[in-house]
Structures are given as C-alpha cells and as structure tokens.
Amino acid sequence: MLGAGPAGEGGIVARPDGGEKVARGTRFHRILAELPELEVIELTFGPDFEGVPPHSHADHVDSFYVLEGEAEFVVGGEVVEAGPGTYVAAPVGVVHGFRNRGPGDLRMLNIHGPNTGFAERLRQA
C-alpha cells in the first residue's frame, strides 16, 4: 500500500495482488486500506462458512460490496439475496448479518467508516 498514513500524506493503491494478506485456513482476507476515517477489507469465505449472526454497531457504518459468489444478508429485519455487484450498507444501529448461500467462495469488500479496528482484530484472531 502506498501512503497508508493520515489523509493528506498520500493516497492508497492496492493492486490485485497487493494489500496485506491475513490467512484463514486455505483462504485469506486482504486488508486494503486503514485510515482513521475508513478501513477496507476484502473478505473471502468458503461454502462451509456458517455466517455472521445479526448484530449492530453503535460507532460505525458497516458496508459490503459482493465481488463473487452469493450472499444472504439480513438488514434491518429484511432478508436480501446478494450476488456480484450488490452493495449493502448497515448504518449505525441497524441490525445486520450475512452468510454464504452459494456452493462456491463468497468474496466481498467490507468497508467500515470510521475505522474501529476490525483489521487489527483479524490479524490477532
């Protein structure tokens, strides 16, 4: 990554093979950006992934952009099927969760604003 410091010190460029890879068994997540205002992580889950149960955040927006595979989201009590190209956002306080509903990998961009340390928690898990 280029310029991973505070805004104004440079931009961030994460090429297709770049970012910081965090191993998860035979797969990995990629941390693409960490700024105080924002963090972006490419998440990859296999078909055996049971999902993230419904929850909410009091301090940040949690959003997802599906790159590959099929997800099922619960957002504010509504169930949403989401394929590639679908964007889902859960503002502060909105209950949300997701699971891989397809036979293959689920790959998504997960964007938090502001940064609340999710990337660091991934590193320590």
Nearest to 31 by CA among 40, 125, 23, 107: 40
Structure confidence by residue, pLDDT tens digits, 53-68:
999 999 999 999 999 9
| Cα–Cα distance measured from residue 30 to residue 76, given in angstroms and rounded to the nearest whole number | 27
* pLDDT for residue 95 is more than 70: yes
What pLDDT shows up at residue 54?
Answer: 97
Average pLDDT value for residue range 88-106: 97
Please return the burial class of 30, using the count of CB atoms within 10 Å of its CB with bins 0-12, 13-18 and 19+. buried
What pLDDT shows up at residue 7?
Answer: 45
Fill in the DSSP letter of residue 98: E
- Would the pTM count as exceeding 0.85? yes
